[in-house]
């Protein structure tokens, strides 16, 4: 998967802004797996199904011209997965599980070192998430990541979720840069695909269980963790 040597040999123009997906890209979801598993009768193996269902219904909501907070969609998805496995879970309990587990996640081990390296290299760093702005602030405060970022953006004002093209266009406008001057760094193939189709550049962080979308445009950086991406980006001129 790692192709950093290929990039180190090349002289590539650096993007003006690096936009970072948050959940799973920067933050470790292991704790969520345990909490969601507890809510689902010990079925930690259902985390992936819950996360996929949450993403599916965030897109259903956006495609229907509606908007609900991402955490509420996550709670609704948790109720749906529970019901399919004959587990009764109230809306209130589901929202509590999602709020408490998603709000207190640690950063992946290499993240702070990588972010420091990128800041020292002069990059502008922006968090870019489907989660609420308040939720993002809580996550970064608890994970100790706030100081690394120049801006923290939630897609809330757009009324749509990533990977709708409008969200990436809005993100670029918020930072006062052109689409081609933006790079998304994310571990989800759907997010990377959305950014590339919107005219951004992208780096794919191949966390375990994640893959690029084969029908998306070619991604210029494909690595297994954020430090390896930083090692490449600091060589850009």
Mean pLDDT value across residues 113-119? 98
Same domain for 204 and 191: yes
Structural domain boundaries, residue 145 = 4-28+105-233
Domain boundary among 75, 102, 129: 102
Same domain for 167 and 94: no
pTM attached to this predicted model:
0.93
pLDDT digits (tens, 9 = 90+) for 180-219: 999 999 999 999 999 999 999 999 999 999 999 999 999 9
Same domain for 94 and 40: yes
- Would you call 137 exposed, middle or buried from its count of C-beta atoms within 10 A (0-12, 13-18, 19+)? middle
Contact 62, 42 (CB under 8 A): no
* CATH classification at residue 94: 1.10.150.240
Residue 151's DSSP bridge partners are 126
Question: What is the reported pLDDT for 4?
Answer: 44
Q: How many residues does the chain have?
A: 237
Same domain for 113 and 42: no
Q: Is the pLDDT score of 8 beyond 80?
A: no
């Amino acid at each position: 998967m790692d192709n950093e040597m290929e990039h180190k040999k090349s002289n590539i123009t650096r993007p003006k802004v690096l936009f970072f997906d948050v959940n799973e890209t920067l933050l470790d979801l292991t704790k969520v797996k345990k909490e969601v598993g507890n809510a689902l009768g010990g079925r930690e193996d259902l985390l992936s199904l819950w996360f996929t269902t949450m993403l599916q219904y965030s897109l259903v909501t956006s495609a229907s011209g509606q908007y609900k907070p991402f955490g509420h969609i996550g709670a609704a998805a948790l109720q749906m997965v529970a019901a399919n496995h004959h587990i009764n879970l109230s809306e209130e309990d589901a929202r509590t599980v999602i709020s408490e587990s998603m709000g207190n996640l640690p950063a992946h081990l290499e993240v702070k070192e990588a972010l420091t390296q990128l800041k020292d290299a002069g990059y502008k760093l922006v968090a870019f998430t489907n989660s609420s702005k308040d939720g993002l602030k809580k996550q970064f405060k608890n994970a100790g990541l706030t100081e690394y970022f120049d801006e923290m953006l939630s897609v809330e004002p757009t009324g749509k979720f990533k990977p709708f093209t409008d969200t990436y266009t809005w993100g670029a406008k918020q930072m006062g840069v052109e689409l081609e001057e933006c790079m998304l760094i994310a571990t989800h193939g759907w997010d990377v695909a959305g950014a590339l189709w919107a005219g951004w550049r992208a780096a794919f962080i191949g966390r375990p269980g994640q893959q690029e979308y084969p029908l998306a445009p070619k991604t210029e950086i494909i690595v297994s963790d954020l430090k390896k991406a930083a090692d490449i980006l600091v060589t850009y001129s």
